[in-house]
């Protein structure tokens, strides 16, 4: 059983469209991170959310942490081909030091 469930797993859209990807869990977390990974490279941190209901914006990307701190969403406005990649959510354990990732959402934005 995955601690973090991401949906959808795959998304292929045209340039200019909007999209939302989700990261859900039955557990409560003190913080959640979103990473983006481009082909042939390691993941790179986009944002960390820590407060229930928190909304953070990074240019055309909007991240939200659920009120109960069990889920998060990533919304992209007017997607561009440069947004293509694998989007991963991750949570850390303050007790064990582990960082666990969801299975990822593969996004393809066609010109």
Partner 1 sequence: NAGVTQTPKFQVLKTGQSMTLQCAQDMNHEYMSWYRQDPGMGLRLIHYSVGAGITDQGEVPNGYNVSRSTTEDFPLRLLSAAPSQTSVYFCASSYSSFPGAYNEQFFGPGTRLTVL
Does position 39 interact with partner 1 (CB under 8 A)? The reply is no
Least Å distance, CB 82 to partner 1, is 20
Alpha-carbon separation of residue 102 from 18, 81, 83, 91 (angstroms):
22, 23, 19, 9
CB nearer to partner 1: give 17 or 67: 67
Q: Tell me which stretch binds partner 1 (CB under 8 A): 12-20, 45-53, 57-65, 77-85.
A: 45-53
Alpha-carbon separation of residue 109 from 35, 44, 47, 57, 77 (angstroms):
17, 19, 21, 20, 12
Does position 35 interact with partner 1 (CB under 8 A)? The reply is yes
């Amino acid at each position: 059983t995955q601690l973090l469930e991401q949906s959808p797993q795959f998304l292929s859209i045209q340039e200019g469209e909007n999209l939302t990807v989700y990261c859900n869990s039955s557990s409560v977390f003190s913080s959640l991170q979103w990473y983006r990974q481009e082909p042939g490279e390691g993941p790179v941190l986009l944002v960390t959310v820590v407060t229930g209901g928190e909304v953070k914006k990074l240019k055309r990307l909007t991240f939200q942490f659920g009120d109960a701190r069990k889920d998060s969403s990533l919304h992209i406005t007017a997607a561009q081909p440069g947004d293509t990649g694998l989007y991963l959510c991750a949570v850390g354990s303050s007790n064990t030091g582990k960082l666990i990732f969801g299975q990822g959402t593969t996004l393809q934005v066609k010109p």
